[in-house]
Amino acid sequence: MDGDFASLQKHRSIHDRVLGAIDQIPFRDESFDLVTANMVVEHLDAPTIQFCEICRVLKPGGLFIFHTPNKNGYSTLLARAIPERAKKGLVNLLEKERAAGDVFQTFYKVNTEQAVRQFAEFAGFEVQELRMVATGANLIIFPPLVICELALIRLLMAKPFKTLRTNMIVVLRKRNKLFIERTRRRSTEACQQVSQWEKKNLSVPVR
């Protein structure tokens, strides 16, 4: 499934292709045993809704497996510091085989371990595995800089620095319906209580 029709047309090696949005997945409840997403989660702008949609189309016990950048990884920190307008030019330089039209806005709302666990619990998932991994060097076309990057990657392989590794591989398992309903009810009630407290204690009278 892809939300971009032009991208769907390019993937001719995939027989079954569907045009759709992740916040309104065009499939019935409990249609799948497995949903995967490779370098997609960082682009989610409303992960509460979108994780719930993924959970909806999974059967109980089904898995959601995704690979995404770590928000605290060095490459993501650098990418976030670059203005959106300049990113396409940089991608052309570092990844010449990647088209400029294949660069999309990123939000990184679910790209820390804490955020994954929070969104997963609300949607009705349990975290089966969350692994921080280091990727290859991005600065391979700049020999002097790539030596420093390789040294940094080697350092990140040490356990104390694993939270700074570049990417995350996450496996989420859908819980049973009763657990999901109870969790969402508690989360909704907590949000309502916080909202009421804010209105009562943080509101400023208009004069």
Tens digits of residue pLDDT in 49-61: 999 999 999 999 9
Cβ atoms < 10 Å from Cβ of 174: 27
Which pLDDT does position 205 carry in this prediction?
A: 44
11-26 in b/e form (b: 16+ CB < 10 A) is eeeeeeeeeeebbebe
Which pLDDT does position 91 carry in this prediction?
A: 59
| Contact criterion met (CB below 8 Å) for 46 and 143 | no
Mean pLDDT for all residues in the chain: 80
Where is mean pLDDT largest: 9-23, 93-107, 145-159? 9-23
- Is pTM beyond 0.85? Reply is no
Tell me 26's DSSP state.
S
Q: What is the pLDDT of residues 87-119, one digit of tens each?
A: 556 655 555 555 555 667 889 999 999 999 999
Backbone angles phi, psi at 97, to 5 degrees: -80, -10
Which pLDDT does position 196 carry in this prediction?
A: 58
151 has a pLDDT exceeding 90:
no
The CA distances from residue 111 to 31, 40, 163, in Å, are: 27, 11, 11
Which pLDDT does position 178 carry in this prediction?
A: 74
Which pLDDT does position 203 carry in this prediction?
A: 47
The angle, 0 to 180 degrees and rounded to 10, between the axes of the packed helices 113-123 and 47-57 is 50
Which residues have C-beta within 8 Å of that of residue 184, sequence separation ≥ 6? Answer: 122, 124
Higher-pLDDT residue of 195 and 35 is 35
Which pLDDT does position 88 carry in this prediction?
A: 59
Structure confidence at residue 84 as a pLDDT band (50, 70, 90): low
Round to whole Å and give the CA distance between 105 and 188.
29
Tell me 163's DSSP state.
G
198 has a pLDDT exceeding 90:
no
Round to whole Å and give the CA distance between 48 and 104.
20
Tell me 25's DSSP state.
-
Q: Where are the beta strands (DSSP E) in 99-200?
A: 125-133, 167-174
| Contact criterion met (CB below 8 Å) for 32 and 14 | no
Structural domains of the chain, with CATH: 5-202 (3.40.50)
- DSSP reduced 3-state for 71: coil
Identity of residue 126: E
206 has a pLDDT exceeding 50:
no
Which pLDDT does position 79 carry in this prediction?
A: 74
Structure confidence at residue 127 as a pLDDT band (50, 70, 90): very high
